[in-house]
């Protein structure tokens, strides 16, 4: 990740301060949920961000910075999706029930007690995007939860307020949190190793752009806890991580199906969705507590997987077989050897011996590696 996420707020200077006249206002409390979903076969690549806020009487606006150029269309509100089936249970890891509703929010309870109020965010109205240009760090983007949105949060009562957004990682943001390194193995092999580096940083001050540093440092939230969930498909083996995991488990397909797709799953499609989701693994990290809030958060993990190289392997086999067949016919014509007395594979062995003696094999391998790199780069450009 080339940079860090940053979150801060703008205080409402005209808001109600502490009842103690001389007391310094306390920063609002924040608990953050990050869910990074990566499933290459189904082309799933997005980051879900949940903000659980309390003591927000002085919050006028909320800002979240991303170190990459984004478009407003990449953001999606998840308040409606969270109400599908048992999605709230999955998100909060407890039994949560939906209570009273309005067009813009709904109450929740757990064990009969008030829990959080979930708010709808109208992208483009309640959430706006501003480009950030920085000569050293490169282009970035800041999303703002507007003054009207924060008024609704403050007016909802004393219980915790919750919003949840999805950032679809497309275009320039595709590799915002990940980098793939393909092994430099020989080209004519059945597979090669691919290493994927995944990193998420929050409020790492040394990585702030100059235009963000002063604003983010002046009014930081009191971050009581960060939950970070990284969801990857089977076949990617965890190699290293920045800190011990709290938990690893398979994704509960029935709980997460509607949430992942962003819609209610029809009964006829449920079996197929569950089959696809059963391939996913959840890695969970957690830091912070009410007694020991955190200033910043860093999560790093690397995964290893096999990248198929069968294309060039098959081409090589077919090519050698064809040459071997030609040598067999040539031997029959000029040496009077019959097909039954000179099997086809003999021609292939003869060709390999000639190539090895002449030094042509290294040249062919070099050209094939060069062609593979060109094709890979072209494919990446097309995907962007």
| H runs (alpha helix) in the chain | 79-82, 87-92, 147-155, 210-218, 253-261, 267-277, 310-335, 344-358, 360-383
97 with 133, same domain? yes
Report the first-to-last Cα separation within the chain, whole angstroms. Answer: 18
CA separation, residue 318 to residues 78, 323, 325 (Å) = 51, 9, 11
Q: Residue 68: in which H helix or E strand, if any?
A: none
Count Cα atoms within 13 angstroms, Cβ side, for 355.
15
Q: Which residues pair with 231 in a beta bridge?
A: 37, 282
DSSP state string for 161-175: EEEEEEEE--GGGTT
Residue 4 burial (C-beta neighbours within 10 Å; 0-12, 13-18, 19+): buried
190 with 279, same domain? yes
104 with 209, same domain? yes
Is residue 70 situated within a structural domain? yes
154 with 257, same domain? yes
Is residue 130 situated within a structural domain? yes
340 with 356, same domain? yes
Q: Count of CB atoms within 10 A of residue 275's CB?
A: 10
224 with 116, same domain? yes
CA separation, residue 179 to residues 2, 141, 174, 282, 283 (Å) = 10, 20, 10, 19, 18
CA separation, residue 369 to residues 161, 228, 288 (Å) = 54, 38, 47
Handedness of CA 198, 196, 241, 89 (dihedral sign): positive
DSSP state string for 181-231: EE----SSSSEEEEEEEEEEEES-GGG--HHHHHHHHHS--EEEEEEEEEE
Is residue 91 situated within a structural domain? yes
Q: Which residues pair with 250 in a beta bridge?
A: 281
pLDDT in tens, the chain (384 residues): 678 999 999 998 776 544 444 557 789 999 999 999 988 777 789 999 999 999 999 999 999 999 999 999 999 999 999 988 788 998 998 999 999 999 999 999 999 899 999 999 999 999 999 999 876 677 899 999 999 999 999 999 888 999 999 999 999 899 899 888 876 555 544 456 788 899 999 999 888 888 899 899 999 999 999 999 999 888 788 888 877 788 888 888 778 877 887 776 666 666 777 777 778 899 999 998 878 889 999 999 988 876 555 454 455 556 556 665 655 555 555 555 544 444 555 555 555 544 454 444 444 544 455 555 556 555 555 555
316 with 296, same domain? no
The pair of three-digit structure tokens given for residue 316, joined into one six-digit string: 């090589």
269 with 363, same domain? no
> In this predicted structure, what is the pLDDT of residue 183?
60
> In this predicted structure, what is the pLDDT of residue 342?
47
259 with 337, same domain? no
Domain span holding position 340: 311-383
Is residue 230 situated within a structural domain? yes
Last residue of a domain, which of 265, 291, 308? Answer: 308
* Number of structural domains found in the chain: 2
Last residue of a domain, which of 308, 339, 361? Answer: 308
61 with 27, same domain? yes
Is residue 1 situated within a structural domain? no
DSSP state of 123: B
44 with 17, same domain? yes
Is residue 253 situated within a structural domain? yes
Is residue 37 situated within a structural domain? yes
Q: Which residues pair with 50 in a beta bridge?
A: 33, 164
Is residue 12 situated within a structural domain? yes
22 with 164, same domain? yes
> In this predicted structure, what is the pLDDT of residue 374?
59
The radius of gyration computed from the CA coordinates of the chain, to the nearest angstrom, equals: 28
């Amino acid at each position: 990740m080339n940079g860090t996420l940053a979150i801060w707020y703008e205080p409402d200077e005209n808001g109600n301060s502490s009842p103690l006249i001389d007391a310094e206002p306390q920063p609002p409390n924040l608990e953050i949920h990050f869910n990074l979903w990566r499933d290459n076969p189904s082309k799933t690549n997005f980051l879900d961000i949940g903000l659980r806020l309390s003591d927000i009487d002085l919050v006028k606006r909320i800002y979240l910075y991303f170190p990459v150029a984004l478009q407003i269309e990449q953001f999606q509100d998840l308040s409606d999706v969270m109400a599908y089936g048992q999605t709230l249970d999955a998100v909060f890891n407890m039994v949560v029930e939906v209570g009273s509703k309005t067009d813009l929010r709904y109450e929740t309870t757990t064990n009969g007690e008030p829990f959080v109020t979930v708010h709808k965010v109208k992208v483009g109205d309640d959430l706006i995007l501003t480009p950030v240009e920085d000569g050293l760090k490169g282009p970035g983007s800041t999303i703002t939860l507007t003054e009207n949105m924060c008024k609704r949060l403050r007016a909802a009562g004393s219980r915790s307020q919750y919003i949840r957004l999805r950032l679809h990682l497309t275009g320039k943001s595709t590799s915002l949190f990940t980098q793939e390194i393909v092994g430099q193995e020989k080209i004519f092999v059945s597979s090669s190793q691919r290493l994927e580096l995944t990193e998420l940083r929050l409020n790492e001050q040394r990585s702030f752009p100059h235009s963000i540093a002063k604003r983010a440092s002046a009014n930081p939230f009191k971050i009581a806890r960060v939950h970070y969930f990284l969801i990857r498909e089977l076949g990617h083996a965890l190699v290293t991580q920045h800190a011990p995991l709290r938990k690893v488990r398979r994704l509960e397909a029935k709980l997460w199906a509607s949430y992942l797709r962003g819609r209610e799953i029809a009964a006829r499609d449920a079996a197929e969705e569950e089959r696809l989701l059963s391939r996913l693994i959840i890695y969970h990290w957690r830091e912070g507590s009410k007694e020991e809030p955190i200033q910043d958060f860093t999560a790093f993990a690397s995964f290893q997987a096999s990248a198929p190289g069968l294309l060039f392997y098959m081409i090589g086999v077919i090519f050698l077989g064809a040459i071997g067949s030609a040598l067999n016919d040539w031997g029959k014509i000029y040496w009077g050897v019959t097909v039954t007395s000179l099997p086809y594979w003999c021609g292939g062995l003869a060709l390999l011996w000639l190539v090895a003696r002449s030094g042509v094999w290294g040249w062919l391998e070099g050209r094939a590696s060069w062609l593979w790199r060109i094709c890979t780069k072209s494919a990446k450009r097309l995907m962007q």
